[in-house]
A and B are shown apart, each in its own frame.
Chain A
Amino acid sequence: MATLNRKDYIKRSAIWGFIVVELAFFAIVGDVMSVSDRTFLSLDNMLLLLKQSAPIGIIALGMTIIMINGNIDLSVGATFALAAIVLLDSLTWPFMQALGDWAIPLAWGFALMTGVVLGAINGLIVWKTGVDAFIVTLASMLGFRGLVFMYNGEQPTSHLNWTLVDFAEAQFLGLHTATWFLLGVALILWLVMTKTVHGRNAYAIGNNREAAINAGIRVGPHFMLNFMLIGFLAALSAVIFYSESGSVNPNDGMLYELWAITAVVLGGTKLAGGYGSIISTLGGVIAIQLLRKGLGHIGADTQTVNLVIGLILIGVLFLDRQLNRQGKEELKI
């Protein structure tokens, strides 16, 4: 890995600075405005924050890799929903019911497999047709959603299994199951992106695709692998979330892609690719959830939340540009 210069350090720590500001703001304002006696900054509340960050967070972590590649995936919300349907529906299949609780890991397997297959479809199309990932996944966002509806019409798919719920609600060392998964995925992806050849190649491809191709990196399969990875992660997110909730509406997961992208961009990953970090995305995810939770805590309404999140996104982009600006000598193009 490359050594960082000072500007990089500033950029990488910016999101954590933002989180600290948010915490301070909500702690102070929250004390004044909230009707609750509990302080916003309590440990339990922060642990809950991590848990609640998990569904979008796990997807956003995968999105980071896709975006470091210079691609984007708009279909994750639909993948999330379809994986959830497979998870819950498979538990009702006769042979699965015969298995008792052993059906649970199998159902997880089916759901994760669904995610991987959907990701592979995206990846294969991007690889083989050379159509831009934005268009491919924009179209498959519609297509996968169509498959979701095809599966069970417009009805919700439900299967409440208390063993599953208890597992999902369990806490180990104070952290919820979902938190463990979020942190585990973050750790693994961080290792992948910083320590492995695949991860380093991901940066190289995003930085200079031509050079990567010339250097013999097989860009097509690399893309496909990453799309399978994000498919897997979208499914994993669904598995964790729907194990706890037990019912999925065909519209679930809509707009998740936009939230995931927002988190990734807040974390400083460049849209053009080649730059970004898993840990910063984790920061981005936490920052958004904190904002949402904090605004709820101080009693802000939906419209304010929407307004604030939208403007913060634009503000971050503006700051990033200011940070990256060269001197006055710059060519004005």
Chain B
Amino acid sequence: MTEQTPVLRLEGIVKTFPGVRALDDVSFSVMPGEVHALMGENGAGKSTLMKVLGGIHAPDSGQIFIGEEPVVMTSPMQAKASGVVFIHQELSLADELSVAENIFLGELPLKGFGRVDWKKLHADTDAILKTLNVGFDSTKRVGDLSIANQQMVEIGRALTVNPRAVIFDEPTASLTDAEKVVLFDVIADLQSRGVGIVYISHRMEEIFRITDRISVLRDGQYRGTLTTAETDEEEVTQLMIGRKLDLSRNESHHEMGDVALEVRGLSCGALYQDVNFSVRRGEVLGFYGLVGAGRTEIAETIFGLRTPSAGQILLDSQEVHISSPIDALRHGISLVPENRKSQGLVLGMNCRDNMTLPQVDDLTAGPFVSDGAEIAIFDQYRDKLDIRTPGWRQIVGNLSGGNQQKIVIGKWLSMRPEVLIVDEPTRGIDVGSKSEIHNLIRDLAAQGYAVIVISSEMPEVLHVSDRIVAMYSGRVMREFTSEEVTEDNLIQAISGIAAEKVA
């Protein structure tokens, strides 16, 4: 393998943004027929590196080679033309158009008078769909496809050229296990044709299943490349976070009070069914499961954003009807939402105003919002959460992701809720802040709050929870106490294996 020329090689890439060195001398190469994992925590520089590769950002220095040719990337199109194709995590499809039109978007085959050559288009598309082994045809409207099938269309796009390197960015985020198998077959097929694959993912299990080598970025710097067969999760993780992975259980214990929130037989159409759980004051209840397992939807229901089709929600043993977030707030329920940019923040507003938004009605002096009261709250949570911002006037959109997330958390903590639901509390947050937030969650519980933490990161769930609810496909599979939980039984529960055992 070493004698071969890499299909794609990046050398000494440096990219700085005002005040940040996003990529610091990163080098990286992919061999033909190799699946090369690119790993790193959020904010480690993976996406910036991909943007440099796709010509969206020009590097300050460094070079990109395809085969032995040095190239300057100017646009995703040009990258594709040179044989480097991206499959994005966020789908970029046109819903109203057919599968074929989407796959050949921007390169529809022409015949005279600017007409589309439908015959060729559909023939070519069918050929691609055949290699992808999917069950829909080229005339299907993309908006009518499932998310997984849309992902397949996205992959199909990469195959309209003879790619030399294909970059997959979190491709399995929304796929079922069966669909994953199809995807891995596609990857294997590409591999066998000598295509180099860059595989960006956080999922260790997949990484160890399909990749040949693993390269790790941390804080914009290249930290080394490991051969998959010769390493293990722990080593990779250590390289990623710079220290040993803390898989410790929660060990702090404190007095627990009465049940603050109880959910009985809660269902919401096809999203989740017959969910039962309760959380006490002073307790942290973890929800663990894959994306799409129904965890977020349960939280949204409790917060009044979805109407349940059956079941009860009880606060302090009293049944309550929560039909809007306003009701939820009145009952002392707070929700830190999953997606901070679209649900958590008004990006064009300043830090303080974002943080005090839910309680702005109460922070008044006479008819006006009281500057003093607002700034007091902001200052308190800025210090508590170590939010780094030049001042409260800073527009939130200009902050880093981690600081933005802290503003959202601060917003909900400052509501001093009875029940705090946190959906993916540390997504996109640096390691230091992560443990701060974990401690904070524990602290809140110690102060007598009931906390629900929804997370896709096992260490996080293990670390903060007193009890863990494992969900799979809209159902609660099992409940663990922090004493009885093990990584194995947790993984089994959320992948549906436990269900078969139980049944």
Contact = CB atoms under 8 A, between A and B. Distances in A.
Given A215-B107, A216-B107, A329 B114 contact: no
Given A204-B101, A215-B106, A329-B309, A197 B114 contact: yes
Interface of B is mostly: loop
A42 interface: no
Contacts of A1: 98, 101, 118, 139
Interface stretch (B11-19, B87-95, B205-213, B363-371): B87-95
Interface in A2-19: 2-5, 8
Interface residues on A, range: 20 to 34
Nearest to B110: A197
Contact of B97 (A8, A200, A210, A332): A200
A2 B305 CA distance: 34
Contacts of A330: 306
A275 interface: yes
Given A200-B116, A204-B101, A212 B106 contact: yes
A104 to B, nearest CB: 28
B306 A332 contact: yes
B97 A2 contact: yes
Nearest to A207: B94
A200 B102 CA distance: 10
A302 interface: no
B162 interface: no
Nearest to A332: B305
A292 interface: no
Contacts of A3: 98, 139-141
A306 interface: no
Interface in B301-319: 304-307, 309
B306 A2 contact: no
**What class of interface size applies to chain B in its complex with A?**
35 or more
A77 B50 CA distance: 47
A151 B20 CA distance: 56
B447 to A, nearest CB: 31
A196 interface: yes
A331 B94 contact: no
B309 A274 contact: no
Interface in B94-116: 94-99, 101, 105-108, 110, 113-116
Interface in A312-333: 327-333
Contacts of B93: 208, 211
A204 B116 contact: no
B96 A275 contact: yes
B10 interface: no
B159 to A, nearest CB: 14
A198 interface: yes
**Interface-central residue, A3, A8, A215, A327, by most chain B CB under 10 Å:** A215
B158 to A, nearest CB: 12
B144 interface: yes
Interface string B313-339: 000000000001000000000000000
Contact of A216 (B77, B97, B98, B309): B77
Given A4-B141, A207-B96, A327 B105 contact: no
Given A3-B139, A197-B115, A198-B114, A212 B105 contact: yes
Max chain A Cβ within 10 angstroms of own Cβ: one of B98, B116, B306: B116
Interface of B: 75-77, 80, 92-99, 101, 105-108, 110, 113-116, 118, 139-142, 144, 268-271, 300, 304-307, 309, 324
Interface of A: 1-5, 8, 195-198, 200-201, 203-204, 207-208, 210-212, 214-217, 274-275, 327-333
Please give me the 8 A-B residue pairs with the lowest Cβ-Cβ distance, nearest first.
A215-B106, A216-B77, A207-B94, A211-B92, A2-B98, A2-B141, A329-B269, A215-B105
Given A2-B96, A208-B93, A216-B106, 4 more contacts: A1-B139, A215-B106, A328-B307, A332-B324
17 contacts: A3-B98, A4-B141, A196-B113, A196-B115, A197-B115, A201-B108, A210-B92, A211-B93, A214-B77, A215-B106, A216-B107, A274-B94, A274-B95, A329-B268, A332-B306, A332-B307, A332-B324
